Amino acid sequence: MRKFLLIFIAASSLLTLVFLFTASTKGRILFASLTCASALALILHHFVSTRKENEQHQLEDHSQAPVQRQFPVDALFDATITSMREGMLVVDRDMRVVASNPVAYRLFGSAPRNVTNQRLTELTRNPAVYQAFLDGLQGIERSGVKVDMVGIERSVFDLCVTPLALGNGNGPSGALGVFVDVTRTEHLELVRQEFLSNVSHELRTPLTSVLAFVETLENGALEDPDSSRRFLAIIRKNASRMHELIDELLELTAIEGGNVRLRAAEVELKPLVDESIAALSAKAEPREITLINDVSAGVKVYADDRRLERMLTNLIDNGIKFNGPKGQVTIRHEPGARDKIIVEDDGDGIPMHHLERLFERFYRVDRARSSDMGGTGLGLAIVKHLALLHGGEVTVTSELEKGTSFTIHLPHAPESN
């Protein structure tokens, strides 16, 4: 472009000179204008391209030079491996550690200075780790190696080892290992499997019973009205059980998934307890269990009334189920930094070692007994999650043969401005 302009200017200047001496005034003006136009075009072109070049230089200056000046590669590398959430270990050909990061020190329970220069076998006796690094030194890349570390707590890592070929080409000069903590993922997977097997088990028992009784009816029992009625009642009971289980599962999943919105307000507690008692009295009466509402009139708590009633019903129901004849279930309130609603019974009690896991889904002290009572093993899990949703919690104390006491702790209403 530039070349073309130069040729153009030279040619038009030459022609202008020729015409200056030979042509008419009109011709001279025309060629003089031509020369001026091309000179102007050249000046503009020069101006634009110089500016572009400057901008390009500036961009390059900003993107490279200052970064290198401010962050030397060594410092960048150190900062990166130090702040990594994964453990990193580099060994040389002799299986000696030449580089590592703080997560790796913790992984092997060592102080930083002890790791470097140590042999891998001095750091860990874990055969999976050793074999993975050995493969790395033989040029084999390994990934997904599961490593169990048993320290204060059991941790599971996913190890990936890459051969490092930094030397003169005689095979790898070292191996780089990266340890990713997958303890939580493993735990969630275990919980999921356990949950699935529990649900299948819980559904299979009543379903087997339904199928067995249907078959008995089909094989002739249908002709006997008394047996038919009895078997149909059993089928109905088992079908209701499955229905209840699915309802409770859906409810629990909704609460845990954060899909339940609380409509919390100041609620009067005594009438709410009365309602729960009324709903359960038919269950308590045959065994002469007394349900006592010991809440003073006028006591208010901050809660979603429907959800609080659900918690109370589950706890009172358990107080009835796991109690002897003529037992007693009492509901009380205690004021304090948080409102306490206490449901206590004088029933069987729960052995101490079960208390920690009592609120887990499907956890039961005596599975057979709970099933006989029509329990699903989800009642306490629902109470726990509803209490958490209220910003509170539920706790339990129990003494064998003396009774059990569950306490729902509820925060007060937030201060209104």
Single residue of 295, 350, 386, 410 touching ligand ADP by CB under 6 A: 350
Binding mask 286-325 for ligand ADP (x = CB under 6 A): ----------------------------x---xx--x---
Name which position in 16, 377, 386, 392 contacts ligand ADP (CB under 6 A).
377
**C-alpha–C-alpha distance, residues 344 and 82, integer Å:** 53
Tracing tokens 């890349």 back to the chain, one arrives at: 141
198 backbone φψ class: left, alpha, beta (φ>0; ψ -120 to 50): alpha
**Toward ligand ADP, which CB reaches closer, 86 or 202?**
202
376 lies in the binding site for ligand ADP (CB under 6 A): yes
Q: Does 327 interact with ligand ADP (rule: CB under 6 A)?
A: no
Q: Does 330 bind ligand ADP (CB under 6 A)?
A: no
Give the burial class of 60: count Cβ atoms within 10 A of its Cβ; 0-12 exposed, 13-18 middle, 19 or more buried: exposed
Q: Does 364 bind ligand ADP (CB under 6 A)?
A: yes
| 366 is a site residue for ligand ADP (CB under 6 A) | yes
Name the token pair of 232.
Answer: 């149909």
For the CA atoms of the chain, what is the radius of gyration?
A: 41
Spell out the residues 6+ positions from residue 307 whose beta carbon is closer than 8 angstroms to its own.
260, 262, 386, 389, 390
Q: If you write DSSP's letter for every residue of 116-158 in order, what string do you get?
A: TT-BHHHH---HHHHHHHHHHHTT--EEEEEEEEESSSEEEEE
In contact, 133 and 95? CB cutoff 8 Å: yes
Tokens 């490279």 belong to residue? 64
Measured distance CA(339)–CA(405) in Å, rounded: 16
Instruction: Please identify which residue in 375, 386, 390, 408 interacts with ligand ADP, judged by CB under 6 A.
Output: 375
Does position 348 interact with ligand ADP (CB under 6 A)? The reply is yes
Which range binds ligand ADP by CB under 6 A, 10-18, 41-49, 183-191, 372-380? 372-380
- By the rule CB under 6 A, 174 interacts with ligand ADP: no
Does position 365 interact with ligand ADP (CB under 6 A)? The reply is yes
Residue number with CB closer to ligand ADP (305 or 345): 345
Q: Which is nearer to ligand ADP, 55 or 372 (CB)?
A: 372
Binding site for ligand ADP (CB under 6 A): 314, 318-319, 322, 345, 347-348, 350, 358, 363-366, 370, 375-381, 404
